[in-house]
Amino acid sequence: MSQKYNPPKLTPAMEQVLLNIHQGYEPKSHGKDRGQIGGLTHSLASLQRYGLVDRYMHLTDKGREVAEKLYDWENRE
């Protein structure tokens, strides 16, 4: 029996990091102060743990799929 892929529950910060990478920006481009940068470290670690980014902070195939769905959702009319 094949198991359906359920994407992980992402926090808003994780979604923003994923969209930044998908759009060609630095993952940390939305961080402005120490608290946000510290939270970014945890977001990146979680994205790696979920298999959405690799150790070089590039999107995996699964990460690209999730990011495209997020991007489509944010840019809907």
Task: Give residue-wise pLDDT tens across range 31-52.
Answer: 565 556 667 888 899 999 999 9
In the structure encoding, which two tokens stand for residue 50, read together?
Answer: 């979920």
Beta bridge partner(s), residue 12: none
Cβ–Cβ under 8 Å, residues 28 and 42: no
> Residue 51 has what pLDDT?
94
* 27 or 11: which leads in pLDDT: 11
pLDDT at 30 over 80: no
Distances (CA, A) of 24 to 4, 5, 34, 47: 29, 26, 23, 17
In terms of Cα–Cα distance, which of 67, 55, 75, 54 is closest to 17?
67
CA 54, CA 51: separation in Å to the nearest integer? 7
Instruction: Tell me the per-residue pLDDT of 51-63, one tens digit each, with 9 for 90 and over.
Output: 999 999 999 999 9
